[in-house]
């Protein structure tokens, strides 16, 4: 009986001791975590390459109604030849027509330019605002030579316009304008490039200089203009701009008269 009384008397003390041990063990875990978090992190090498971009990731942007014209300008060797009864070569006439066209393009448009010529295939003017002078200077530097990699050029321009559309959250106007005098002979077929443009929802506007109505791009262009002279090329460029829904026809006629 005395033994039972001792056990009954000691049991509250044993239970309390157990509770205190439990509290200590719970409180010790955060302390260990804090200690580990305060330890220095491993240094990152400054030469380590940045992580790759996630496929499909979009840059942050904002809604904008800005109109975007991305030009693919053919500077292949055949552009050094004359067109029809023109006294100047196609490249000289095309440069002049494009410069005249820039005079009537609204100043609030984004412009981009991709060329292939004696210097290779490349983007010479990234799609951006307030770059008209840069655009005109780049046109002056085009010199004819080489083949006609239209497929590669179109895919590149379409990708640039699609990126810009994402930045504008789907608003605005986006057009790829192709000025060429020959059939494509690059590594990328025109059919593949056209499918890419269709998948991205980017319309192609083509002006075929002295190649008639049978160019392959006619099947995949929203607008195809057969230019049999430099004058026709100028009209084709003007029509491309005039077809822009947001363009004021009155302003267009006023600009032409200057």
State the total domains in the chain. Answer: 1
pLDDT above 70 for 206: yes
User: Regarding predicted confidence, which is higher, 196 or 56?
Assistant: 196
The predicted-structure confidence for 105-134, as pLDDT tens digits, reads as follows: 999 999 999 999 999 999 999 999 999 999
Asked whether residue 194 is domain-assigned, the answer is yes
Rama region for 187: left / alpha / beta (φ>0; ψ in -120 to 50; rest): alpha
Give the residue among 237, 238, 236, 233 at the shortest CA–CA distance from 251.
238
* Paired tokens of 117: 């010529």
CA dihedral sign, ordered 183, 187, 190, 191: positive
pLDDT tens digits along 209-240: 998 778 899 889 999 999 999 999 999 999 88
Which pair of tokens denotes residue 113? 């330019």
Residues 6+ positions from 177 with CB-CB distance below 8 Å: 69, 70, 71, 72, 205, 206, 207, 237, 240
Q: Does 44 reside within a domain?
A: no
| CATH code for the domain in which residue 203 is found | 3.40.50.410
Q: Long-range pairs for 17-22 at CB < 8 Å and ≥24 separation?
A: none
- For residues 106 and 245, the model is more confident at 106
Contact of 89 with 225, CB cutoff 8 Å? no
Q: Which of 4-13, 159-168, 174-183 has the lowest mean pLDDT?
A: 4-13
Give the H/E segment covering residue 123. strand 120-128
Mean pLDDT value across residues 90-100:
95
Beta bridge mates, 128:
111
Tokens of 224: 């195809």
The Cα–Cα gap between 7 and 108 comes to 93
Compare 135 and 250 and report the one with higher pLDDT. 135
Structural domain that includes position 146: 67-208+228-256
What is the reported pLDDT for 223?
92
Q: Are 44 and 84 in contact (CB under 8 A)?
A: no
Q: Measured between alpha carbons, how far is 194 from 44 in angstroms, rounded to an integer?
A: 44
At residue 235's C-alpha, the angle toward residues 234 and 239, to 5°, is 120
Would residue 57 count as lying in a domain? no
CB 172 within 8 A of CB 109: no
Residue 136, in any domain of the structure: yes
Residue 219 lies in a domain: no
Task: With respect to residue 175, please indicate whether it lies within any of the assigned structural domains.
Answer: yes
Q: What is the pLDDT of residues 9-58, one digit of tens each?
A: 444 433 333 433 333 333 333 333 333 333 333 333 333 333 333 233 34
Residues 164 and 110: beta-carbon distance below 8 Å: yes
For 127, phi then psi, to 5°, come to -65, 115
Give the angle 257-89-121 at the CA atoms, nearest 5°.
Answer: 100
Residue 148 is classified by DSSP as -
Rounded mean pLDDT, 191-218:
92
Does residue 56 sit within a domain? no
Place of tokens 């109109």: 67
Kindly report the pTM of this predicted structure. 0.72
Give a yes or no: residue 46 inside a domain: no
């Amino acid at each position: 009986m005395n033994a039972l009384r001792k056990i009954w008397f000691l049991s509250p003390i044993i239970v309390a001791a157990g509770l205190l041990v439990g509290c200590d063990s719970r409180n010790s875990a955060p302390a260990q975590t804090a200690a580990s978090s305060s330890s220095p992190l491993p240094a990152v090498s400054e030469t380590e390459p940045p992580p790759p971009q996630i496929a499909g990731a979009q840059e942050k942007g904002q809604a904008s109604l800005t109109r975007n014209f991305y030009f693919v300008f053919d500077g292949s060797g055949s552009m050094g030849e004359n067109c029809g009864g023109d006294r100047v070569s196609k490249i000289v006439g095309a440069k002049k027509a494009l410069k005249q066209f820039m005079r009537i393009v609204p100043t609030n448009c984004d412009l981009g330019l991709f060329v292939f010529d004696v210097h290779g295939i490349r983007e010479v003017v990234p799609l951006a605002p307030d770059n008209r002078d840069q655009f005109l200077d780049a046109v002056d530097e085009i010199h004819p030579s080489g083949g006609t990699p239209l497929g590669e050029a179109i895919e590149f321009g379409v990708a640039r316009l699609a990126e810009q559309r994402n930045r504008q959250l789907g608003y605005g106007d986006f057009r790829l304008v192709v000025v060429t005098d020959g059939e494509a002979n690059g590594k990328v077929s025109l059919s593949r490039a056209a499918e890419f443009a269709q998948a991205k929802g980017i319309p192609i506007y083509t002006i075929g200089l002295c190649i008639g109505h049978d160019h392959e791009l006619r099947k995949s262009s929203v607008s195809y203009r057969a230019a049999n002279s430099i004058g026709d090329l100028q009209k084709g460029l003007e029509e491309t701009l005039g077809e822009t829904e947001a363009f004021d026809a009155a302003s267009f006629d006023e600009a032409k008269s200057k």
